Chains A and B, each alone.
Chain A
Amino acid sequence: MLKNRIIPCLDVKNGRVVKGINFVDLKDAGDPVEQAKIYSDGGADEICFLDITASNENRETIYDVVKETSKKCFVPLTVGGGVRSVEDINKLLNCGADKVSINTAAVQNPSVVEESSKKFGSQCIVVAIDAKKNGNTWEIFTHGGRKETGINAIEFALKMEKSGAGELLVTSMDKDGTQSGYDIELMKTISESVNIPVIASGGVGTLDHLVDGIKSGASAVLAASIFHYGTYSVNEAKQYLASKDIPVRI
């Protein structure tokens, strides 16, 4: 039976983990490579890096991080943030990323999704959808959630599926950072609309939120802070999901 995935996400800025917690035995709390290794040793099903480096001159730092991580972690690694072109994707994959997540570029220039999924295969193309509730539906935002687009999130999800996305990483902008749980309606609506796997993101504060995310129809749940700040370990999260009869890899 296919298991539901738990994906811890690390925010990386200028090659360093942002707000990383000092785990026991961790020499350098800011080192993304060490943090990723702790997650993968702890049973993370995949690892996700979100590069939030603002300046262009420091953008190269993520490539070194990916290179080093992929030599030490042997679970799938997804990298997103600032991915603009097919060439950016190529570079990240060559450094050892297994999947690349595309947000703003997928909206501005959907051919990036089409071209890259043809060239590298759908399995490595994740489209990140940042959505915000607007009346009865959801609208997508770009530029890290700062810029509204007027584009309907469900229509966009369907378009991305057609363009060759292998997975959708759906983040609720209303919920992100609130620790009040995923936007369940959003996850449910998108999961039911598309035939590709959905990764739920944005808003996790408790282990029950992870359970709700999976029950909404998402194939995987992504969380940053609850793991980041050591509130729960990945293993604790998995044990909890298993206790709620949700199939996970233990």
Chain B
Amino acid sequence: MNVTIVDYNSGNISSVINSFTEVAKGTVNLEVTSDLKKIKSSDKVVLPGQGSFKSCIDALNSINGLTDTLSEFVMIDKKPLFGICVGLQMFANVGYEETETKGLGWIPGKVSKIDNKNGRYKLPHIGWNQINIVKDSKIFKDIENNSHMYFVHSYEFIPEDKNVISATTDYSSNIVCSVEKENIFGTQFHPEKSDKIGLKIIENFMRL
């Protein structure tokens, strides 16, 4: 099994690498690369993302052929991809962080700023929050409802089709924190920073 973590200068991905390495423990061949050939031939791809929606999309676009390769991997080859944080947000058609930016468009929807209810809620939404699992998702195998996950974000993904939502979390409003659409998986929270329970989600993805 070959799993590739896409390294496209999207900020700090060492924690993602460390956690996947811990779970892989020699049983899975883990690559961290932006090499298009290696991505194409992988069984699974992990798309991390830190910083703003715009900076991540710009970083993807600055590597020639990367977005096309990823889109082909997901939409044509239908192989599993896991987006984390902004990695998930980029599934949308459009994001509004910094400026209006076109997303990958794999799951129709938009990414907008969390409503802080006139300053009553602090942003970023940082810390451990519980997830409400709203549909059976393969990456939630053996994960209990209301488990705590680690979040850090100020923007939220609002998909058009609510059926793709696999979990939400309560902050200033009900925030989408996990999606599953066929072979596309994503979490707004950071499984790589969510201790043992987060590693379990990573393991579930690796075992798909």
Tell me the A residues contacting B by CB distance below 8 Å: 1-5, 40, 45, 70-71, 74-76, 93-98, 118-124, 166-167, 195-197, 219-220, 249
Contact = CB atoms under 8 A, between A and B. Distances in A.
Contact of B12 (A71, A94, A220, A249): A94
B150 to A, nearest CB: 6
Contact of B50 (A1, A118, A123): A123
B18 A3 contact: no
B58 to A, nearest CB: 12
**Consensus secondary structure, chain A interface:** loop
B199 A120 contact: no
B188 interface: no
Contacts of A98: 12, 15, 193
A1 B152 contact: no
A195 to B, nearest CB: 5
A43 to B, nearest CB: 9
B108 interface: no
Sorting the interface of chain B by its residue count into under 10, 10 to 19, 20 to 34 or 35 or more gives: 35 or more
Given A1-B170, A45-B127, A166 B116 contact: no
B89 interface: no
A47 B129 CA distance: 17
A118 B124 CA distance: 15
A124 B50 CA distance: 9
Nearest to A100: B12
B18 A195 contact: no
Interface string B165-208: 00000110000000000000000000011111011000000000
A95 B14 contact: yes
Contact of B22 (A5, A74, A220): A74
Nearest to A217: B122
Q: Which of A121, A196, A220 has the most CB of B within 10 A?
A: A121
Contacts, number: 100
B193 to A, nearest CB: 5
Contact of A70 (B15, B51, B194): B15
B128 A249 contact: yes
Interface of B: 11-12, 14-15, 18-19, 21-22, 50-52, 55, 116, 119, 122-130, 148, 150-154, 170-171, 192-196, 198-199
B119 A195 contact: yes
Contact of A121 (B11, B119, B148, B193): B11
Contacts of B124: 122-123, 166-167, 196-197
Nearest to B85: A123
B12 A167 contact: no
A197 B124 CA distance: 7
B133 to A, nearest CB: 16
B153 to A, nearest CB: 7
Given A123-B153, A219-B122, A74 B128 contact: no
B51 A3 contact: no
Nearest to A98: B15
Contact of A2 (B21, B154, B171): B171
Contacts of B192: 74
Contact of A96 (B18, B116, B123, B198): B18
Contacts of B22: 71, 74
Contact of A166 (B119, B126, B171): B126
Contacts of B19: 74
Given A98-B12, A120-B12, A122-B124, 9 more contacts: A2-B151, A5-B127, A75-B193, A76-B150, A121-B55, A123-B50, A167-B124, A167-B126, A219-B127
Contacts of A219: 122, 126-127
Contact of A197 (B126, B194, B198): B126
B144 to A, nearest CB: 13
A93 B14 contact: yes
